[in-house]
Amino acid sequence: MRIASWNVNSVGARLPKLVDWLGTAEPDVLCLQELKCAEDAFPYDEIGALGYEVAAHGTGRWNGVAVLSKVGIEDVRRGLLDEPGFLAEGAMFEAVEPRAIGATCGGVRVWSVYVPNGRDITHAHYAYKLRWLDALRATAAEELTELPFTVLGDFNIAPTDADVWDIAEFAGCTHVTEEERKALTALGETGLAEVHPRALKYDVPFTYWDYRALRFPNNQGMRIDLVFGNERFTTAVTDAYVDRNARKGKGTSDHAPVVVDLDLP
């Protein structure tokens, strides 16, 4: 089985790239993040024509997640256990954002997650990010079963200093703080371990490169799209890599897909 994750940075804008990549990579399951569309606006027909069922969770705007599967979709769950909301500037009430969706696909329990960015360590969005990560940990702990189980997506956290192109550039910034990395450790303490993609062209398999300042051609990126799994999942992994080619060219997402191959009984 091939399972992949990709922050597409707008499924509408990236649809031709997504369709092409699905035809080439042929994942059995693809977890998407940052749909930027409501559930009823998802391109179900175009994706369905490739043989995929879709479970989407989105309201439009800047968030949204989905699971695409050729091996069935069951037990769909939208949102986390006691998921916190965020009070946006000018809003009267906190909104629970569409950032997580779980489904069972071909006997594997998958969660597609889009962790809040955090914006700045002094911003309320950073405190929201830490609360959201705690809800993710609680959800993973509640859901862990004997099935192969994985949580994958855009975590907006670089696990180590080596996972950014120049740690000096991130001094005092989100994505690399001790508190965020402790949240990844807490997720691991539920019984999950990270699946590390192998290096291809470069020593560190970055997954994100800013559109500005020629970050991609200069390989000034970050590894923030991560895959965690329980023992039944991680022991079945035969390969894991970042498809850097999907980031090349015009009209691409600023993230590249992470691909995991499994040999399941």
User: Would you tell me how many other CB atoms lie within 10 Å of the CB of residue 162?
Assistant: 11
Among the listed residues 154, 163, 225, 243, the single catalytic one is 154
Query: Is 203 labeled as catalytic in the residue annotation?
Result: no
Question: Does 154 appear as a known binding residue?
Answer: yes
Among the listed residues 57, 125, 175, 255, the single catalytic one is 255
Question: Does 45 appear as a known binding residue?
Answer: no
Distance, CA of 21 to CA of 41 (rounded, Å): 21
Task: Please tell me what DSSP assigns to residue 54.
Answer: E
Q: Which residues pair with 21 in a beta bridge?
A: none
Question: Does 34 appear as a known binding residue?
Answer: yes
Question: Does 254 appear as a known binding residue?
Answer: yes
Question: Does 40 appear as a known binding residue?
Answer: no
Q: Tell me which residue has tokens 């191959």.
A: 261
Cα 121–127–131 angle (5° rounding)?
A: 145
Among the listed residues 52, 114, 126, 208, the single catalytic one is 114
Query: Is 114 labeled as catalytic in the residue annotation?
Result: yes
Q: Tell me which residue has tokens 């862990």.
A: 144
CB 118 within 8 A of CB 125: yes
CB 84 within 8 A of CB 132: yes
Question: Does 156 appear as a known binding residue?
Answer: yes
Query: Is 125 labeled as catalytic in the residue annotation?
Result: no
User: Would you tell me how many other CB atoms lie within 10 Å of the CB of residue 230?
Assistant: 21
Q: Residue 235: what residue type?
A: T
Structure tokens at 230: 């329980």
Binding-site annotation, residues for Mg(2+): 7, 34, 154, 156, 254-255
Catalytic residue numbers, as ranges = 114, 154, 255
Binding-site annotation, residues: 7, 34, 154, 156, 254-255
